[in-house]
Amino acid sequence: MTAETPRTKRLRRLESIFVSSPVYFVTACISRRRNLLSRAVIHRAFVDFGNDGPNHGAWIGRYVLMPDHLHAFAALDAERIALAKWMKSLKNALSKVMRAQKIAAPHWQKTFFDHVLRSSESYSAKWEYVVANPARAGLVARPEEWPFQGEIFHLESRPAKHRRS
């Protein structure tokens, strides 16, 4: 009989959040970590999805599309859309473009990582780490050279106060 390594239990997603419109930090990875996201057509689809978000109660702030995963900050109107449903919509929108580009499925890992930000300092600290990813990965010399990043909306504490950057 072989000894199995015990699996670390994942924390369950919070059932209730006591902030009217929290800002989430989300990460989603491509299936088998293939290099699919760092393409102009995917970036354009991501920005288009983000620009349409307020019509559905969602605002994307800063983001970085790496070749095999994405990081984004998002604020959601919880009365209009749940985080899991929004992530499913985002993945579906980008998968539609991948299918049109003849990129074989599956495109995404089934799960995603999310974290509720608790302060503006947390947003800034996370962004400073995330924006440096392309340089740390050796894709560019300086973070600002990476073409697949940006900010769609300037996120503040409430969606009603969001404004385009």
Secondary structure class of 24 (helix, strand, coil): strand
The answer to whether 37 and 68 are in contact (CB under 8 A) is: yes
Residue with tokens 């969001």: 162
pLDDT value at residue 20: 58
Per-residue pLDDT for the chain (165 aa), expressed as one digit of tens each?
445 555 555 555 444 333 457 899 999 999 999 999 999 999 999 999 999 999 999 999 999 999 999 999 999 998 899 999 999 999 999 999 999 999 999 999 999 999 998 877 788 888 999 999 999 999 999 999 999 999 999 986 443 334 455
CA angle 108, 61, 126 (to 5 degrees): 80
Amino acid at 106: P
> In the prediction, which pLDDT does 136 show?
96
Distance from chain centroid for Cα 97: 17
Residue holding tokens 């409430």?
158
- Cα separation, 165 vs 147, in Å, equals 17
The predicted structure's pLDDT at residue 1 = 47
- All domains of the chain, ordered by start, with CATH? 23-157 (3.30.70.1290)
- Confidence at residue 84, expressed as pLDDT on a 0 to 100 scale: 96
Nearest CA-CA partner of 88 in 26, 13, 136: 26
The helix-helix angle for 83-100 and 40-52 (nearest 10°) equals: 140
